[in-house]
Amino acid sequence: MAEFKVVVADPETGETFQREVDGQDANRFLGRELGDEIGGDAVGLSDHTIELTGGSDETGRPMREDVSGTRLKELLLEGGVGFEPSREGERKRITVRGREIDDDIAQINASVVDGDGDVAAALGEGDADDDADE
């Protein structure tokens, strides 16, 4: 059975929220690709739409939008997702994962693209944290 950590970013406030999904909610992500937009019901955002923006597998290999399917692939990278060069002209061979979500993915990154209301309130966070600080 698939189980994912989904990190949802709210671009309006700059906050991120982490949710663990399994069972039927996790199955909604299987077979989807980076860039797909889906309903936020799986992570508790019933009035919002989220876009899949990235992710990584259980060993930390990042997903790349330019690699098709779910396979692993070695790429010679000059920068971008999976490699940040430390000097001018540096290139490195890096193993990355394809853009399709399957059981091997451990974390999915998503961003809210449309919806009504506050994301923090919909996820049950925000105001409760402020009351605890007082």
Residue 127 in domain: no
Per-residue pLDDT, averaged over 44-58, amounts to 90
Residue 46 in domain: yes
Residue 76 in domain: no
Each residue's pLDDT tens digit, 7-39 = 999 888 888 889 899 888 889 999 999 999 998
Residue 47 in domain: yes
Residue 91 in domain: no
Residue 127's pLDDT band (boundaries 50, 70, 90)? low
Residue 117's pLDDT band (boundaries 50, 70, 90)? confident
How many domains are contained in the chain?
Answer: 1
Residue 8 in domain: yes
Q: Which of 45, 33, 15 is nearest to 100 (CA)?
A: 33
Residue 128 in domain: no
Q: Is the pLDDT of residue 128 over 60?
A: no
3-class DSSP state of 58: coil
**CATH number for the domain that contains residue 16:** 3.10.20
Residue 55 in domain: yes
Range of the domain at 61: 1-66+100-121
Q: Tally the C-alpha atoms within 13 A of residue 4's C-alpha that lie toward its C-beta.
A: 27
pLDDT of residue 76: 92
The pTM of the full predicted model, rounded to 2 decimals, is: 0.83
